[in-house]
């Protein structure tokens, strides 16, 4: 089943949402997972879709030793106490 | 009574004092006053009071901002947020005062006014601002022609020695190569998609003034293939003491060409009979010692390019590594297509196989040099090793047998037969 | 809102080059260092460029940068650069202006030097001024060491150049691993787990994943909703603290400084080399770290006395042997000196009779 551009964006968003709080996904985890199911796509398509999620503020890049794509949240270090 | 009695003790002595400098900013900036107070507290307690922030950034980028929060925010509200911004430096760290003042104006307006010129990777480091200032500061930086550098699992801001801008030993244009590659890789610099960090450093000669061999995943070090250029009259002037060794920057008044130069040549490829310096250039290993000592007499040759070395990084995680020679010679000329293509093959292979936080040098240790070289389409070359293996545990692949059957060397695949 | 600009990269370097560099780009013929801190580059065309090298703290203010700009405007037509070791270079073509420039720098308390056979500026990390995992401060020990070695910054007295570096923890952001003399902050205890805070502040799976040696596990008491640390596996990198602020790895009493020596990056004579452990631990003693300052001076002096001409610190040690180095510098040899970390260890054990008593 071919994914449209918009569907790919939503597909990736759902992956990030499902992993939230359990596992931090890297951009490479996302493209590897997508390309496994959708061989018609290439890495660039996934990167462009991630860029759309990031530029729109629906996802953010985080850095905790490595860089991840996550849902926006208040970070632990910014909390008092 | 002073509020910073311990830090005050760092104001005396001949070396410039960061405490004195910070105190003068503290008079104007409350956050710097709180910074000094928190630092004094660290000096008393011998622990840090910073927390790592991993989320703040500017919209669209996953790099260039390092989040930092105080764990004493209630006591020192000025440093509740104290984020770092990394601004990509120009090649060779050259500036006009106009450009520097422009940067200062931006940072005075949006941040603490404290900075490093420069950070370890090469960027201009702006130290200390609040989350809400990041976007306005970024907007003003880009409006003035500046951009953020790399951080996180990205292509980090490359850096270079000043090369042909001021050095007679530059074997390629480090300044241009650094600029071109930085521009080429903007997407990967700002949108983390690598397993971990990836650094490029461009040094113009084997003196390696930007420490490429130790501090860059891909180290591009200038080298020549032909003969060292000799001015015999100048050699004589060094022997006679009219010219001082190393341009004069040593305690030694006069060079003894045999004892100081030819006897210390690591390959013993040179000799001096009191009149003429002879170099067996085919046996020179480009160490630079003789050239360093007699800069007016000797210069690198004119058939120049670079050696590519790969894999260095600081000790995390498998222990520090120095870069390994992967390609003994490459011509480095604009538009650098051969280099760019190789760089992509390297990063693609690493992105495909690297684990989280695994540097390229560590991945090669895990999967093997042959696998890497084949993926990067680099043929085996004796320059890649210091010494061949001592163990008999080497393996043969079908491609080796195929090559053998076709009358080629055991060298793997087609296109790899050299000479 | 106007169009958001991104991915423009750094400005092109050419606009920052003084005219003499633009005209002689790639045409430089040779250089001299007529006095400490002053470089003279001569082009094929005969043009002469002077660079006056000055030392600065790495942590500076915009006030300081503006001060430096004023000097550069007055003497250098507004052109200057920085070196890879945080030195400032004032670029000028008029030889007659050098004396005035030097006087102005002296007045401002900015030292001139860092060329040739000197101790040049110490490259270092952020320490307590900005970092979340340091064992020590960075700017403080650097200031103390440079005050002590000041005589070597503005002179060419040593057998070769000596490069000193400092990293405030073993992550070594400063990449001190190839310096003649390196200070490295060391933690010596595993993180303390603050169970009460961890539950609220941290995600357990990502905290566990953050440990590079796999030393962190879910706490056996599930009701705690916390983790446990297998202390013998911990190498004190602080990465778990990066992920989870309830796992601080600081210990005010046990943290300290290790000294590593003998590294280099240049290829001159000998190959680039790692710095090797000389002193595993010196107490963390702010504000001026006198024990560290004394230890570095001791090594530097013994090197200056013992080295042959042109020998870097590591080359001197390799010639006399490490056992001799420990003897000459009166440094006790400990179990910590014997490598037992991963693949590099076996390479360091001696397999010959080539040693000294």
Phi and psi torsions of B413, nearest 5°:
-100, 175
Q: Best of B99, B142, B214, B254 to disrupt the C interface by mutation (most C CBs within 10 Å)?
A: B214
Residue with tokens 């499902």: A18
- Note whether B122 and B89 are within 8 A (CB): yes
Tell me what pLDDT residue B395 has.
86
Phi and psi torsions of C83, nearest 5°:
-95, 175
Per-residue pLDDT at C1 exceeds 70:
no
Per-residue pLDDT at B39 exceeds 70:
yes
Strands B304-310 and B324-330: antiparallel
Tell me what pLDDT residue C285 has.
97
pLDDT, mean of residues B50-78: 95
A24/C197 CB distance under 8 A: no
Structure token pair of residue C344: 């590099």
User: Closest partner residue to C287 among B9, B145, B179, by Cβ?
Assistant: B9
Strands A60-64 and A66-70: antiparallel
Structure token pair of residue B369: 């040099």
Tell me the shortest Cα–Cα distance from C246 to chain A, in angstroms. 9
Per-residue pLDDT at C342 exceeds 80:
no
Q: How many helices (H) and strands (E) does chain C have?
A: 11, 13
Residues in CB range of B120: below 8 A, 6 or more apart: B215, C123, C125, C173, C174, C175
Per-residue pLDDT at B419 exceeds 50:
no
B46/C284 CB distance under 8 A: yes
Q: Sheet harboring B218-224: ordered strands across?
A: B159-160, B200-203, B218-224, B304-310, B324-330
CATH class of A5-74: mainly alpha
- C70 or B405, which is more confident: C70
A23/C209 CB distance under 8 A: yes
DSSP-assigned letters across all residues of C159-201: SS-B-EEEESSTT-TT-GGG-SEEEEEE--SPPPP-HHHHHHH
Q: Could you read off the pLDDT of B194-252 as tens digits, one per residue?
A: 999 999 999 999 999 999 999 999 999 999 999 999 999 999 999 999 999 999 999 99
- Note whether B238 and B275 are within 8 A (CB): no
**How many angstroms from the chain centroid is the CA of residue C97?**
33
- Note whether C60 and C96 are within 8 A (CB): no
Contact residues on chain C for A81, CB-CB shorter than 8 A: 197, 200-201
Cα B170 from Cα C34, distance rounded (Å): 22
The CATH number of B229-299 is: 3.30.70.20
What is the domain partition of chain B in residue ranges?
5-143, 159-220+303-388, 229-299, 392-419
List, for chain A, all residue ranges whose pLDDT scores fall below the cut of 70.
1, 80-81
**C-alpha radius of gyration, chain B, whole number:** 26
A76/C201 CB distance under 8 A: yes
Q: What 8-state DSSP symbol labels residue C12? A: P
The neighbour count for residue C347, using CB atoms within 10 Å, is: 7
Q: Could you read off the pLDDT of B100-159 as tens digits, one per residue?
A: 999 999 999 999 999 999 999 999 999 999 999 999 999 999 999 999 999 999 999 999
Q: Could you read off the pLDDT of B337-358 as tens digits, one per residue?
A: 999 999 999 999 999 999 988 9
By the CB < 8 Å criterion, does B418 face chain C? no
By the CB < 8 Å criterion, does A57 face chain C? no
Q: Could you read off the pLDDT of B142-195 as tens digits, one per residue?
A: 999 999 999 999 999 999 999 999 999 999 999 999 999 999 999 999 999 999
Residues of B with CB under 8 A from a CB of A: 51-57, 59-63, 66-67, 69, 73-74, 81, 151-154, 187, 191-196, 351, 356-357
Cα A63 from Cα A24, distance rounded (Å): 10
User: Which 214-233 residues of chain B touch chain C by CB within 8 A?
Assistant: 214-215
User: Which 19-58 residues of chain B touch chain C by CB within 8 A?
Assistant: 19, 21-22, 24-25, 32, 35, 39, 42-43, 45-52, 54
Please state, rounded to an integer, the average pLDDT across all residues of chain B: 95
Per-residue pLDDT at B404 exceeds 50:
yes
Tell me what pLDDT residue C212 has.
82
Tell me what pLDDT residue B265 has.
98
Phi and psi torsions of C271, nearest 5°:
-75, 160
The fold of the B159-220+303-388 domain, in CATH, is: Sulfite Reductase Hemoprotein; domain 1 (3.30.413)
Tell me what pLDDT residue B412 has.
57
What is the domain partition of chain A in residue ranges?
5-74
The CATH number of B5-143 is: 3.30.70.2500
User: Which 42-81 residues of chain C touch chain B by CB within 8 A?
Assistant: 49, 51, 55-66, 68-70, 72-73, 78-81
Cα B7 from Cα C189, distance rounded (Å): 27
Q: Could you read off the pLDDT of C99-148 as tens digits, one per residue?
A: 999 999 999 999 999 999 999 999 999 999 999 999 999 999 999 999 99
Chains near C, with 3+ CB pairs < 8 A? A, B
By the CB < 8 Å criterion, does B128 face chain C? yes
Among B74, B81, B88, smallest CA distance to B111 is for B81
Tell me the shortest Cα–Cα distance from B261 to chain A, in angstroms. 47
User: Which 256-295 residues of chain B touch chain C by CB within 8 A?
Assistant: 260, 264, 266, 286-289, 292-293, 295
pTM: 0.96
Cα C141 from Cα B300, distance rounded (Å): 39
In DSSP terms, C40 is beta-bridged to: C32, C50
Which of B27-41, B165-179, B218-232, C163-177 shows the lowest per-residue confidence on average (mean pLDDT)? C163-177
Cα B136 from Cα B144, distance rounded (Å): 12
Chains near B, with 3+ CB pairs < 8 A? A, C
Per-residue pLDDT at C301 exceeds 80:
yes
Question: Where residue B418 falls among pLDDT bands split at 50, 70, 90?
Answer: very low
Cα C49 from Cα C43, distance rounded (Å): 8
Contact residues on chain C for B122, CB-CB shorter than 8 A: 84
Q: What is the ipTM of this complex?
A: 0.96
Equal CATH topology for B5-143 and B229-299: yes
Tell me what pLDDT residue B387 has.
95
pLDDT, mean of residues C237-266: 90
Among C201, C142, C194, smallest CA distance to C167 is for C142
Q: Best of B166, B296, B332 to disrupt the C interface by mutation (most C CBs within 10 Å)?
A: B166
- Note whether C116 and C34 are within 8 A (CB): no
B321 in helix, strand or coil? Answer: strand
% of chain C surpassing 90 pLDDT: 83
User: Closest partner residue to B196 among A61, A66, A70, by Cβ?
Assistant: A66
Question: Where residue C296 falls among pLDDT bands split at 50, 70, 90?
Answer: very high
Per-residue pLDDT at B1 exceeds 80:
no
**How many angstroms from the chain centroid is the CA of residue C308?**
25
- Note whether C182 and C275 are within 8 A (CB): yes
């Amino acid at each position: 089943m071919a994914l449209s551009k918009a569907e790919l964006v939503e597909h990736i968003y759902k992956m990030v949402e499902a992993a939230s709080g359990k596992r931090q996904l890297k951009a490479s985890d996302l493209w590897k997972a997508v390309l496994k199911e959708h061989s018609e796509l290439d890495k660039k398509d996934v990167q462009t879709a991630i860029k759309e999620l990031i530029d729109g503020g629906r996802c953010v890049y985080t850095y905790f030793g490595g860089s991840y794509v996550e849902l926006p949240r208040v970070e632990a270090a910014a909390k008092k106490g | 009574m002073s509020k910073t009695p311990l830090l005050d003790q760092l104001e005396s002595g001949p070396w410039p004092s960061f405490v004195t400098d910070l105190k003068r900013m503290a008079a104007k900036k409350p956050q710097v006053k709180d910074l000094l107070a928190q630092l004094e507290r660290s000096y008393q307690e011998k622990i840090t009071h910073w927390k790592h922030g991993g989320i703040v950034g500017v919209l669209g980028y996953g790099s260039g901002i390092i989040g930092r929060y105080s764990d004493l925010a209630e006591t020192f509200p000025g440093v509740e947020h104290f984020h770092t911004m990394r601004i990509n430096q120009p090649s060779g760290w050259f500036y006009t005062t106009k450009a520097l003042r422009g940067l200062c104006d931006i940072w005075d307006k949006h941040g603490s006014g404290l900075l490093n010129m420069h950070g370890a990777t090469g960027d201009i480091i702006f130290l200390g601002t609040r989350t809400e200032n990041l976007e306005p500061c970024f907007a003003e930086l880009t409006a003035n022609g500046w951009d953020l550098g790399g951080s996180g699992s990205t292509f980090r801001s490359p850096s270079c020695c000043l090369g042909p801008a001021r050095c007679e030993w530059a074997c390629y244009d480090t300044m241009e190569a650094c600029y071109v590659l930085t521009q080429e890789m903007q997407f990967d610099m700002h949108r983390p998609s690598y397993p971990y960090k990836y650094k490029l450093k461009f040094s113009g000669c084997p003196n390696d003034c930007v420490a490429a061999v130790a501090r860059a995943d891909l180290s591009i070090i200038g080298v020549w293939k032909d003969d060292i250029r000799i001015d015999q009259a100048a050699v004589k002037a060094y022997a006679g003491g009219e010219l001082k060794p190393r341009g004069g920057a040593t305690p030694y008044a006069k060079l003894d060409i045999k004892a100081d130069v030819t006897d210390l040549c690591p390959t013993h490829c040179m000799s001096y009979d009191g009149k003429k310096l002879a170099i067996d250039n085919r046996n020179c290993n480009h160490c630079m010692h003789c050239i360093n000592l007699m800069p007016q007499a000797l210069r690198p040759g004119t058939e120049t390019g670079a050696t590519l070395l790969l894999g260095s990084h600081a000790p995390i995680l498998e222990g520090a590594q120095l870069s390994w020679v992967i390609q003994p010679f490459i011509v480095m000329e604009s538009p650098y297509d051969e280099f760019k293509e190789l760089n992509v093959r390297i990063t693609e292979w690493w992105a495909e196989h690297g684990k989280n936080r695994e540097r390229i040098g560590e991945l090669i240790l895990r999967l093997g040099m042959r696998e890497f070289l084949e993926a990067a389409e680099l043929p085996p070359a004796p320059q890649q090793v210091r010494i061949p293996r001592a163990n008999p545990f080497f393996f043969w692949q079908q491609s080796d047998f195929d090559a053998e059957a076709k009358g080629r060397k055991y060298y793997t695949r087609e296109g790899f037969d050299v000479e | 809102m106007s169009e958001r600009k991104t991915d423009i990269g750094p400005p092109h370097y050419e606009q920052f080059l003084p005219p003499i560099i633009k005209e002689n780009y790639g045409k430089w013929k040779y250089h001299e260092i007529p006095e400490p801190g002053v470089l003279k580059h001569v082009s094929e065309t005969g043009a002469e460029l002077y660079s006056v090298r000055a030392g600065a703290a790495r942590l500076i203010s915009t006030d300081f940068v503006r001060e430096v700009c004023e000097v550069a405007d007055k003497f250098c037509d507004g052109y200057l650069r920085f070196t890879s070791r945080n030195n400032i270079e004032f670029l000028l073509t008029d030889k007659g202006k050098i004396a005035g420039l030097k006087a102005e720098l002296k007045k401002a308390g900015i030292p001139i030097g860092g060329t040739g056979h000197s101790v040049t500026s110490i490259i270092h990390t952020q320490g307590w001024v900005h970092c979340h995992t340091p064992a020590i401060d960075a700017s403080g020990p650097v200031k103390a060491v440079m005050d002590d070695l000041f005589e070597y910054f503005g002179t060419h007295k040593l057998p070769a150049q000596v490069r000193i570096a400092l990293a405030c923890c073993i992550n070594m952001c400063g990449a001190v691993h190839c310096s003649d003399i390196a200070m490295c902050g060391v933690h010596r205890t595993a993180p303390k787990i603050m169970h009460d805070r961890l539950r609220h502040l941290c995600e357990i799976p990502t905290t566990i994943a953050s440990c590079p040696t796999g030393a962190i596990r879910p706490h056996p008491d599930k009701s705690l909703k916390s983790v446990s640390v297998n202390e013998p596996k911990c190498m004190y990198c602080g990465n778990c603290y990066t992920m989870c602020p309830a796992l601080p790895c600081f210990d005010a009493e046990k943290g300290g400084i290790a000294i590593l020596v003998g590294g280099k990056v240049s290829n001159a004579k000998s190959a680039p080399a790692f710095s090797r452990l000389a002193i595993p631990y010196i107490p963390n003693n702010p504000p001026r770290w006198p024990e560290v300052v004394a230890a570095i001076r001791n090594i530097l002096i013994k090197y200056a006395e013992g080295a042959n001409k042109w020998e870097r610190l590591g080359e001197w040690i390799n010639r006399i042997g490490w056992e001799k180095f420990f003897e000459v510098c009166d440094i006790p040899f400990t179990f910590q000196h014997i490598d037992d970390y991963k693949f590099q260890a076996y390479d360091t054990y001696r397999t010959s009779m080539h040693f000294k008593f």
